Amino acid sequence: MYTALYRKYRPMTFDDVVSQPHITAALARQVAEGKTAHAYLFTGSRGTGKTTCSRILAKAVNCLHPIDGKPCLECEICKAADAGNLPDIIEIDAASNNGINDIRDLRESALYTPERCKYKVYIIDEVHMISAGAFNALLKIMEEPPAHVKFILATTEAHKIPATIISRCQRFDFRRIRDEDIVARLMYVAAQENIDLTEEAALLIARLSDGAMRDALSLLEQCVAFSDHIDPDAVSNAAGVAGRDYLFSLLENAADGDASSAIITADELYSKSKDMSRLCEELTAQTRNLMLIKTVPNRPELLNCLPKEAESLKAIADKMSLGEILSKLEILQRTLETLPRAVSKRTEFEMALVRLCTVKSAEALGGDISALEKRISALERAISSGMVINQPKPEAKTLSDPQPSKSDQPKPSDNPPQQAEKKPAAQFERCRDWDEILDRLTVRNPGFAGSLKGSLSYVSGDRMMIVVQNRFFLSLLKASENSTSLQEAAYDVTGIKFRIAAKCADGQAENQPSEQSSPVDELLKKAKEAGVEVEEGI
Ligand SMILES: Nc1ncnc2c1ncn2[C@@H]1O[C@H](COP(=O)(O)OP(=O)(O)OP(=O)(O)O)[C@@H](O)[C@H]1O
Ligand SMILES: [Mg+2]
Ligand SMILES: [Zn+2]
């Protein structure tokens, strides 16, 4: 039976895992000393060994005769595990079992002792895919795990995992695999498989794979189908990089501001079933090359492209300033994030192309282009919903309530006179920009942003109510540099200078220091009256 190369050469023990010595050594030591944790979180980019190491660790903790913390591969447990029929090592693909019921089933089955092994090991792969409810269910069992249970969570997107889960795991960050390690592994696999692979070809494969071993092995396999002797030319043919002139013409259009040609090219690619996300990734990679040409012009070996492509890139780079290239890169990065959620990927991508062709450098516009775009769209939303934004002067320190705006419809019956200057019946709603605000905050103030992971934010007019998971955050918010950086991040994204208050999910309320007038509970009560679901406790 045919097995893909990357599966056939999946490392069976820690020694075969390359480029992650900080992880494999630590895990083997823990096993050898009998000091393994209840739960692990393996994060890092794709194809770097997360699933592989999860399986090896699951074997190692159960192996009957481990050697220096590494599985022996000889005992009945190791053999059964490698054959995939050990009932005590349970792999759950969260991409397809992401519901609360799946995790409830897990909770139930975790109570039973293992059948054959010392530990029941649950490997939850792609764990970022599980629902919020399922995370809560998972948290319950992770809080008090039975002694015979271990969890290994694996994900490429650690930022989507609630802080409450992360804090219960021992975390390991998998690195992108170094080019030379990929080359060595490719040469090894080629020797085993009698593949005629040159060292230069292996290096080109490594470059094109961007640190992902799985991609490298898949590409090698594609090359084998293409040619008996694998040299750089065979690689470029097999990788389809030979026919990717469209990338350079799109970049050229972007440099020339020629949106109509760009749209026509995209249309042709679309009708040839080109995947828009893939196209966006390719454009991002080439735009990054442009950036490198500008910043490190005498290091062509850093470029992720074929030698002859470097020429075209150089010509395109000459047409643009570094600022312009950075602005384009930012547009592409943003599009990569929004594409998976877009209703029409084609439209989303076309919009990005038009932006690429129209954007000039951010400095020329006096600031960060995406922040400007965000503010414009926040204003558009506000206008279409009939809301009036009172934009305080940036340096205004006074946080007293604004005068009621004319568009508000006061209902005198439910509003006693002393509350007349407050906005009547504040409608709190989930802040749509919260993730984005946290992203910005991470840049300004990463430590503080970390403490806000898993929090929820509700807004009404210029008020923001944050419900945090972590009581510690309330004390952090008291520090004025923290509250200011949060305000600024929110202002960058929404254009609104929010008055911020916070409450802990377990019920302890705290005001932002400068917000002395209105008690938070009052705000929360209003939020609830307005039908906002405010989560209390976990
Ligand atoms: N560090 C490594 N050393 C050797 N081979 C590796 C390594 N990482 C990945 N591979 C190869 O790539 C294949 C895929 O690896 P694995 O499934 O562990 O990646 P992953 O990190 O879980 O990726 P994903 O995030 O896409 O699930 C393996 O079968 C193996 O052939
Ligand atoms: Mg995996
Ligand atoms: Zn064994």
Does the pLDDT value for residue 407 go beyond 60?
A: no
Closest C-alpha to ligand 1, atom 18: 49
Q: State which of 51-60, 91-100, 276-285 shows the largest mean pLDDT.
A: 51-60
Q: Is 213 a pocket residue for ligand 1 (Cβ < 6 Å)? A: yes
From-to residues of CATH 3.30.300.180 in the chain: 424-529
Q: 80 alpha carbon to ligand 3 midpoint, in Å?
A: 10
Q: 158 alpha carbon to ligand 1 midpoint, in Å?
A: 17
**Quick one: which H or E segment has residue 192?**
helix 179-192
Q: Mean pLDDT for the chain? A: 83
Does the pLDDT value for residue 429 go beyond 90?
A: no
Query: Given the CA of residue 6, which atom of ligand 1 is nearest to it?
Result: 31
Q: Is 14 a pocket residue for ligand 1 (Cβ < 6 Å)? A: no
Closest C-alpha to ligand 1, atom 24: 46
Q: Please give the span between the terminal C-alpha atoms of the chain, in angstroms, as a whole number.
A: 49
- How much is the pLDDT for 254? 95
Name the pLDDT band for 516 (thresholds 50, 70, 90): very low
Q: What angle do CA 308, 313, 317 make, to 5 degrees?
A: 155
- How much is the pLDDT for 368? 56
- DSSP symbol at 428: -
Closest ligand, as measured to the CA of 12: 1
- DSSP symbol at 37: -
Q: 409 alpha carbon to ligand 3 midpoint, in Å?
A: 73
487 vs 513: which has the higher pLDDT: 487
From-to residues of CATH 3.40.50.300 in the chain: 5-174
- How much is the pLDDT for 399? 40
Query: Given the CA of residue 125, which atom of ligand 1 is nearest to it?
Result: 27
Closest ligand, as measured to the CA of 117: 3
Does the pLDDT value for residue 510 go beyond 80?
A: no
Q: 68 alpha carbon to ligand 3 midpoint, in Å?
A: 12
- How much is the pLDDT for 480? 77
Does the pLDDT value for residue 421 go beyond 50?
A: no
Name the pLDDT band for 239 (thresholds 50, 70, 90): confident
Going by DSSP bridges, is the β-strand pair 463-468/456-460 parallel, antiparallel, or unpaired? antiparallel
The CATH fold assigned to 179-238 is Helicase, Ruva Protein; domain 3 (1.10.8)
- How much is the pLDDT for 524? 52
Q: Which range (145-149, 360-364, 497-501) has the least confidence?
A: 360-364
Does the pLDDT value for residue 48 go beyond 60?
A: yes
Residues 349-361: tens digit of each pLDDT: 999 999 999 886 5
**Quick one: which H or E segment has residue 69?**
none
Q: 62 alpha carbon to ligand 3 midpoint, in Å?
A: 7
Q: 103 alpha carbon to ligand 1 midpoint, in Å?
A: 25
Average pLDDT on 86-105 reads 89
- Mutation choice for ligand 1 from 8, 10, 178, 185, CB with most ligand atoms inside 8 A: 10
Q: Which range (170-179, 253-262, 357-366) has the least confidence?
A: 357-366
Q: Is 42 a pocket residue for ligand 1 (Cβ < 6 Å)? A: no
- How much is the pLDDT for 29? 97
Separation CA 409–CA 499 (nearest Å): 22
**Structure token pair of residue 447:** 């430590």
Query: Given the CA of residue 174, which atom of ligand 1 is nearest to it?
Result: 21
Q: Is the dihedral of CA 479, 432, 277, 375 positive or negative?
A: negative
- Mutation choice for ligand 1 from 3, 18, 52, 128, CB with most ligand atoms inside 8 A: 52
Query: Given the CA of residue 185, which atom of ligand 1 is nearest to it?
Result: 4
Closest ligand, as measured to the CA of 174: 1
Q: Where are the alpha helices (DSSP H) in 296-321?
A: 307-318
Average pLDDT on 260-265 reads 94
155 vs 276: which has the higher pLDDT: 155
Task: Assess contact for 76 and 205: CB atoms under 8 A.
Answer: no
Q: What type of residue sits at position 61?
A: V
> 424-529: which CATH number, 3.30.300.180, 1.10.10.10, 3.10.20.30, 3.40.1190.20?
3.30.300.180
Closest C-alpha to ligand 1, atom 25: 46
Residue carrying the six token digits 């802990």? 504
Closest C-alpha to ligand 1, atom 13: 214
Does the pLDDT value for residue 367 go beyond 90?
A: no
- How much is the pLDDT for 520? 47
Closest ligand, as measured to the CA of 73: 3
Q: Is 18 a pocket residue for ligand 1 (Cβ < 6 Å)? A: yes
CATH number 3.90.1150.10 given to 5-174: no
Average pLDDT on 226-230 reads 91
**Quick one: which H or E segment has residue 210?**
none
Count of other CB atoms within 10 angstroms of residue 106? 20
Separation CA 126–CA 184 (nearest Å): 28
Task: Assess contact for 202 and 267: CB atoms under 8 A.
Answer: no
Q: How many residues does the chain have?
A: 538
Task: Assess contact for 280 and 375: CB atoms under 8 A.
Answer: no
Task: Assess contact for 330 and 254: CB atoms under 8 A.
Answer: no
Closest CA to 217 of 56, 7, 44: 7
Does the pLDDT value for residue 55 go beyond 70?
A: yes
**Structure token pair of residue 320:** 């643009």
- How much is the pLDDT for 383? 61
Task: Assess contact for 322 and 287: CB atoms under 8 A.
Answer: no
Residues 121-161: tens digit of each pLDDT: 999 999 999 998 999 999 999 999 999 999 999 999 999 99
CATH number of the 245-365 domain:
1.20.272.10
- How much is the pLDDT for 111? 92
**Quick one: which H or E segment has residue 40?**
strand 39-44
Q: Is 128 a pocket residue for ligand 1 (Cβ < 6 Å)? A: no
Q: Which range (65-74, 118-127, 306-315, 467-476) has the least confidence?
A: 467-476
Separation CA 301–CA 430 (nearest Å): 47
Q: Is 130 a pocket residue for ligand 1 (Cβ < 6 Å)? A: no
- How much is the pLDDT for 197? 97
- How much is the pLDDT for 460? 86
Going by DSSP bridges, is the β-strand pair 39-44/170-174 parallel, antiparallel, or unpaired? parallel
Separation CA 93–CA 127 (nearest Å): 8
Q: What angle do CA 274, 280, 282 make, to 5 degrees?
A: 85
Residues 430-474: tens digit of each pLDDT: 888 888 888 888 887 877 888 787 788 888 888 888 888 767 777
Q: Is 461 a pocket residue for ligand 1 (Cβ < 6 Å)? A: no
- How much is the pLDDT for 406? 41
Does the pLDDT value for residue 418 go beyond 50?
A: no
Closest ligand, as measured to the CA of 45: 1
Task: Spell 289-309 as b/e; 16+ CB within 10 A means b.
Answer: bbbbbbeeeeeeeebebbeeb
- Mutation choice for ligand 1 from 16, 51, 92, 178, CB with most ligand atoms inside 8 A: 51
Does the pLDDT value for residue 30 go beyond 80?
A: yes
Task: Assess contact for 299 and 289: CB atoms under 8 A.
Answer: no
- How much is the pLDDT for 413? 41
From-to residues of CATH 1.20.272.10 in the chain: 245-365
Q: 218 alpha carbon to ligand 1 midpoint, in Å?
A: 11
> If you write DSSP's letter for every residue of 450-519 in order, what string do you get?
HHTTT-EEEEETTEEEEEES-HHHHHHHHSHHHHHHHHHHHHHHHS---EEEEEETTS-EEE-TT--SS-
Q: 213 alpha carbon to ligand 2 midpoint, in Å?
A: 12
**CB within 8 Å of 181: residues ≥ 6 apart:** 18, 19
- How much is the pLDDT for 519? 42
Q: Is 518 a pocket residue for ligand 1 (Cβ < 6 Å)? A: no
Separation CA 72–CA 51 (nearest Å): 19
Average pLDDT on 534-538 reads 36
- How much is the pLDDT for 50? 97
Query: Given the CA of residue 7, which atom of ligand 1 is nearest to it?
Result: 29
Does the pLDDT value for residue 486 go beyond 80?
A: yes
From-to residues of CATH 1.10.8.60 in the chain: 179-238
Q: Is 46 a pocket residue for ligand 1 (Cβ < 6 Å)? A: yes
